[in-house]
């Protein structure tokens, strides 16, 4: 199962290296500081315009007569609006003040997707028929899309420096969707834009809540004219998440949580503002580094983690490990940790196919309520005794 590691490295390759990589696997728990951070980020966005997006802080959609403006916001370093796109109907008149924005005519019928997680957004909007190219099919969990890629119906077009730009032109791709940092120079992106192909850069991984990350589905809905369907389905997800969250509201003695594994002598733990930190808090847990700032990974010495996390109640998301032996193989000292002895180790690799495609990183993005239910069942099983784990499994 070691190939599973390359699922994450490929998704985020060329971005910022190991700290960013580990930030996807690490997890933590929401503290009051996290809530304050999220509220402050929302306030930045609300101060810019009348927002209709309720959870995500990294983007906004503003409706006008015949067109919409998509703003991608760099909220995590106090710089607000960094990218702008115009979604417009054919023949719509767009004011000159938006002329510098990328112009995208909707609905878009020919889209290239360079990040397999966002397949779930298209499935949520019932718009997978609009996908005409993807990146690397081996990391795709959805069997239909994988089969279509294998049969050449949805061709693979590479990624980064290996991106096949001629193939994108040949396929008549109208929009390319990828992952990255807003307004960060990218050679491949610039080449595509010079060729007349707009590039939408998603930064959902910087959201501080799972609902905020899931709300990026509304960008796909706006691209594909499926907003009514999306809004109806998203409201159900939102309401179920809130209902589950309410179950843990009065928990006083919260279980302590350890996450991830050491890497080359260091241990990367999540900042207290990460979206996984948030969901763990909502599940009724207490993360040992909840006071650390940021949404990404923070490097801590092995000895410091050993001292604080030795007697943690649970160990969540130990990278891509399937067994205790794999964990201990990283460092013999790991066998001293309490969860190794109690068996309270759970990983998000319950739905993996072809050793490399993990549905946690795919459909999980639009199912924050199911991820929350899994974690409540693990950490506070008495609150959801009938729930069967979907994305998580107990490490053998």
Tens-digit pLDDT profile for residues 210-246 = 999 999 999 999 999 999 999 999 999 999 999 999 9
51, pLDDT greater than 70: no
Cα→Cα distances 294→12, 212, 291, 298, 323, Å: 18, 16, 10, 8, 30
Q: What number is the average pLDDT over the span 2-31?
A: 38
12, pLDDT greater than 50: no
40, pLDDT greater than 60: no
Please, what is the average pLDDT of the chain?
85
Higher pLDDT, 162 or 44: 162
Q: What angle (nearest 5°) sits at the alpha carbon of residue 304, between those of residues 343 and 205?
A: 75
Note the CATH architecture for domain 4-33+244-394.
3-Layer(aba) Sandwich (3.40)
294-327 residue pLDDT tens: 777 889 999 999 999 999 999 999 998 999 999 9
How would you classify the pairing of strands 131-134 and 111-113? Answer: parallel
46, pLDDT greater than 60: no
> How far is it, in rounded angstroms, from Cα 46 to Cα 60?
9
Please identify which residue in the block is written with the tokens 């959201």: 207
343-386 residue pLDDT tens: 999 999 999 999 899 999 999 999 999 999 999 999 999 999 99
pLDDT value of position 295? 78
> How far is it, in rounded angstroms, from Cα 222 to Cα 56?
15
242-266 residue pLDDT tens: 999 999 999 999 999 999 999 888 8
Q: Identify the three-state secondary structure at position 156.
A: strand
pLDDT value of position 77? 54
User: What's 389's DSSP letter?
Assistant: P
pLDDT value of position 39? 52
**Domain chopping of the chain, boundaries:** 4-33+244-394
57-69 residue pLDDT tens: 889 998 888 899 9
277-288 residue pLDDT tens: 889 999 999 988
- What is the token pair recorded at 212? 């905020």
pLDDT value of position 76? 56
pTM for the full model?
0.87
74-127 residue pLDDT tens: 755 554 556 889 999 998 999 999 988 999 999 999 999 999 999 999 999 999
Please identify which residue in the block is written with the tokens 């990974």: 297
Beta strands in the chain (DSSP E): 59-64, 67-73, 81-88, 102-105, 111-113, 131-134, 175-179, 199-202, 255-259, 262-263, 266-270, 285-287, 297-301, 314-316, 345-347, 352-353, 357-358, 393-394
């Amino acid at each position: 199962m070691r190939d599973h590691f390359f699922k994450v490295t490929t998704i985020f390759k060329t971005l910022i290296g190991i700290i960013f990589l580990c930030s996807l696997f690490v997890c933590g728990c929401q503290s009051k500081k996290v809530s304050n951070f999220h509220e402050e980020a929302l306030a930045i966005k609300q101060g810019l315009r009348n927002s209709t997006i309720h959870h995500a802080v990294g983007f906004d959609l503003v409706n006008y007569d015949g067109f919409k403006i998509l703003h991608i916001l760099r909220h995590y370093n106090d710089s607000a609006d960094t990218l702008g796109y115009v979604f417009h109907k054919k023949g719509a008149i767009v004011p000159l003040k938006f002329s510098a924005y990328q112009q995208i005519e909707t609905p878009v019928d020919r889209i290239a997707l360079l990040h397999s997680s966002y397949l779930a957004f298209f499935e949520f909007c019932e718009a997978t028929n609009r996908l005409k190219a993807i990146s690397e099919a081996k990391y795709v969990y959805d069997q239909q899309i994988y089969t279509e890629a294998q049969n050449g119906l949805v061709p693979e077009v590479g990624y980064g420096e290996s991106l096949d730009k001629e193939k994108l032109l040949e396929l008549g791709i109208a929009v390319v969707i990828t992952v990255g940092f807003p307004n960060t120079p990218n050679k491949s992106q610039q080449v595509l834009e010079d060729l007349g192909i707009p590039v939408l850069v998603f930064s959902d991984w910087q959201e501080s809540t799972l609902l905020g990350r899931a709300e990026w589905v509304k960008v796909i809905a706006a691209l594909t004219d499926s907003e009514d369907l999306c809004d109806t389905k998203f409201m159900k997800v939102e309401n179920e998440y809130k209902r589950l969250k309410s179950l843990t509201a009065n928990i006083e003695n919260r279980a302590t949580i350890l996450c991830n594994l050491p890497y080359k002598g260091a241990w990367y733990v999540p900042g207290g503002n990460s979206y996984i930190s948030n969901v763990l808090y909502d599940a009724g847990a207490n993360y040992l580094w909840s006071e650390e700032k940021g949404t990404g990974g923070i490097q801590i010495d092995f000895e410091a983690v050993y001292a604080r996390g030795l007697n943690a109640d649970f160990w969540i998301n130990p990278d891509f490990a399937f067994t205790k032996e794999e964990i201990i193989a990283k460092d013999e000292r790991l066998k001293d940790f309490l969860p190794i002895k109690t068996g309270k180790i759970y990983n998000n690799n319950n739905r993996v196919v072809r050793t490399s495609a993990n549905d946690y990183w795919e459909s999980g993005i639009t199912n924050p309520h199911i991820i929350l239910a899994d974690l409540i069942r693990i950490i506070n099983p008495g609150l959801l005794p009938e729930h069967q784990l979907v994305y998580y499994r107990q490490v053998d």
